[in-house]
Amino acid sequence: MTVPLTLLGLLEREPSHGYDLKRDYDTFFGRGKPLPYGQVYSTLSRLARDGKVVVGDVAPGAGPDRKRYVITDLGATEVEHWLTEPVEPEPHLQTLLFTKVVLALMLDRPAEEYLDTQRAAHLRRMRELTEIKRSGELVDVMLADHGLYHLEADLRWIETTGARLDALRKAVRP
């Protein structure tokens, strides 16, 4: 859902060609996951079909394509609505990790070892993100920080759960 809205947002900044849109998307938002050209053009076609963009004057850009896309009032309204609406805070009440821990306890498997393995994996990823922060641009730093804070929250949950395993075992194996 965010790719069409992100491309619309980039078009609100200035009319653009598909090639330039992809380049800007990858620079700011596509860290490690560049947007395929096919997805850019199919998304732009859908946005045009829905009246959120129109094809403007034909002029050369940085890439080979000629079509220059312009956001419509409808598209701009949608961007405005999306930006102002808060993202739903995800409660994460049924995470994969939670399911694994409860199942491990039900099956009398070593849940603490699973938590230790997960902790090590989290810390490994945190080291990678910290290295990105140490060598990257500010945009990379902010993205890495977002990941680090989420991983840190997971780790707190892992610690708390590890300290409560005995009680949890009794709760799930009455």
The window from 12-20, 49-57, 66-74, 122-130 that contacts another protein (CB under 8 A) reads: 122-130
Nearer to another protein, 67 or 122 (CB): 122
DSSP state of 64: S
Selected binder of another protein within 159, 171, 172, 173 (CB under 8 A): 159
* Residue numbers 22-61 binding another protein by CB under 8 A: none
Tokens representing residue 142 in the block:
């902010």
Sheet containing 68-71, strands listed edge to edge, beginning at the edge strand earlier in sequence: 16-17, 68-71, 53-55
Torsion of CA 14, 19, 23, 28, to 10 degrees: 50
Selected binder of another protein within 6, 129, 143, 161 (CB under 8 A): 129
**Cα–Cα distance measured from residue 164 to residue 1, given in angstroms and rounded to the nearest whole number:** 38
Q: Is 120 in the site for another protein (CB under 8 A)?
A: yes
**Residue 169 C-beta: closest distance to another protein, Å:** 18
**Cα–Cα distance measured from residue 169 to residue 151, given in angstroms and rounded to the nearest whole number:** 25
Q: Which residues sit at the interface with another protein, rule CB under 8 A?
A: 113, 116-117, 119-120, 122-123, 126-127, 129-130, 133-134, 148, 151-152, 155, 159, 163
